[in-house]
């Protein structure tokens, strides 16, 4: 085979055209020399130069005196750290303020809580206390249960009170004592009468027996029973009391309570005209309208108080014309 030798200029031109169609890794060795722009060293340097060069449209340092994105990122990180510190401080401040506000609210609520202890009555409470006895008079009759303490045992009267006629009527039962005195009882502001029964009902009959009654004058100073009967009749009045005088005479609001399903407030006082300083000896359980649901009062010589509960059973009219 005959080999045709090409001139050097033609061979170089053919090699150049062939290299343009080859990948970088397949370039002829003479194009990969150290001085060639296609050498590996020059290629890596060119790539680094491209990566480190600032894009033409990079505005991160525009007009701020920041030399390049490196300083811009550093400033942003500093601002982020500063913002976090400020945010943490504000969170601490806000938490402290919140705790102080909550503590203040709880202190105010505790100070003004209905059950925070005895305090002077407000104007509204004084009005309720002043109208309580008049409420009984308006109703005329109230069903009552009276617990009377005694050395020989407790007496319980279940019956009714008529605050316009100033009279009462009920069943008398003894606890812890001889039941020979059990029976019916009726009374006015000046007289009390008893009627024994062989079998004592839970409630007094609407028509009491005509005969068999034993009576005597009612004397509140003679014994606890008479005193309790007089107290009950004294819980009605044909006019309200003077509300302005009640706070001056020791009336206080003690607590909130429930009596037979009724929401009530408990009040003490006022002082009795006959016994100054006696406000603590009597307590009233009144609802929001001044209706009386319980009265508890201490009596001289007894450890336990007299307790009067209202509306404990169905009302029975007090017989009249005795």
Q: Please, which pLDDT band fits residue 9 given cuts at 50, 70 and 90?
A: low
pLDDT (average), residues 139-152: 93
**What is the chain's mean pLDDT, rounded?**
77
Buried b / exposed e over 244-281, threshold 16 CB at 10 Å, is eebbebbbbbbbebebeebebbbbbbbbeeeeeebbeb
Tokens of 45: 């340097």
Q: Which residue has the higher pLDDT, 251 or 307?
A: 307
Q: If you write DSSP's letter for every residue of 140-170 in order, what string do you get? A: -EEEEEEEE--TT-EEEEEEEEETTTTEEEE
Looking at residue 101, its pLDDT comes to 53
Looking at residue 40, its pLDDT comes to 46
Q: Which residue has the higher pLDDT, 155 or 80?
A: 155
pLDDT (average), residues 232-245: 94
List the single range of 131-145, 181-195, 275-289 with lowest mean pLDDT. Answer: 275-289
List the single range of 16-25, 148-157, 194-203, 252-261 with lowest mean pLDDT. Answer: 16-25
Q: Residue with structure tokens 């014309």?
A: 321
Res. 11: pLDDT tops 70: no
Q: Which residue has the higher pLDDT, 322 or 26?
A: 322
Q: Which residue has the higher pLDDT, 245 or 263?
A: 263
Res. 173: pLDDT tops 50: yes
Q: Please, which pLDDT band fits residue 50 given cuts at 50, 70 and 90?
A: very low
pLDDT (average), residues 300-312: 93
Q: Which residue has the higher pLDDT, 157 or 95?
A: 157
CB 287 within 8 A of CB 264: yes
CB 179 within 8 A of CB 155: no
Which of 94-103, 122-131, 170-179 has the highest average model confidence (pLDDT)?
122-131
CB 228 within 8 A of CB 246: no
Q: From CA 235, how far away is CA 224, in angstroms rounded?
A: 17
pLDDT (average), residues 179-202: 91
């Amino acid at each position: 085979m005959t080999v045709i030798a090409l001139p050097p200029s033609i061979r170089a031109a053919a090699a150049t055209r062939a290299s343009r169609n080859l990948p970088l890794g397949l370039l002829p060795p003479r194009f990969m020399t150290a001085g060639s722009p296609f050498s590996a060293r020059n290629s890596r340097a060119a790539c680094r130069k491209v990566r480190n060069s600032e894009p033409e449209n990079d505005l991160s340092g525009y007009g701020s005196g920041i030399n390049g994105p490196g300083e811009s990122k550093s400033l942003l990180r500093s601002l982020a750290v500063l913002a976090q510190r400020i945010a943490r401080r504000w969170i601490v401040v806000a938490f402290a303020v919140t705790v102080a506000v909550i503590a203040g609210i709880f202190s105010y609520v505790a100070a003004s809580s209905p059950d925070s202890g005895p305090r002077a009555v407000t104007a509204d409470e004084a009005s309720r206390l002043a109208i309580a006895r008049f409420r009984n008079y308006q109703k005329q009759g109230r069903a009552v249960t009276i617990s009377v303490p005694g050395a020989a045992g407790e007496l319980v009267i279940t019956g009714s009170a008529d605050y316009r006629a100033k009279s009462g009527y009920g069943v008398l039962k003894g606890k812890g004592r001889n039941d020979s005195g059990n029976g019916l009882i009726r009374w006015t502001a000046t007289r009390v009468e008893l009627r024994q029964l062989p079998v004592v009902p839970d409630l007094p009959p609407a028509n009491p027996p005509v005969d068999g009654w034993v009576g005597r004058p009612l004397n509140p100073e003679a014994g606890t029973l008479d005193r309790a009967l007089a107290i009950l009749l004294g819980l009605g009045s044909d006019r309200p009391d003077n509300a302005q005088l009640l706070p001056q005479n020791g009336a206080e609001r003690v607590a909130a309570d429930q009596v037979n399903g009724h929401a009530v407030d408990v009040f003490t006082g006022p002082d009795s005209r006959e016994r100054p300083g006696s406000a603590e000896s009597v307590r009233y359980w009144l609802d929001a309208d001044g209706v009386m649901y319980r009265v508890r009062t201490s009596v001289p010589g007894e450890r336990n108080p007299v307790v009067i509960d209202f509306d404990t059973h169905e009302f029975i009219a007090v017989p009249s014309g005795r």
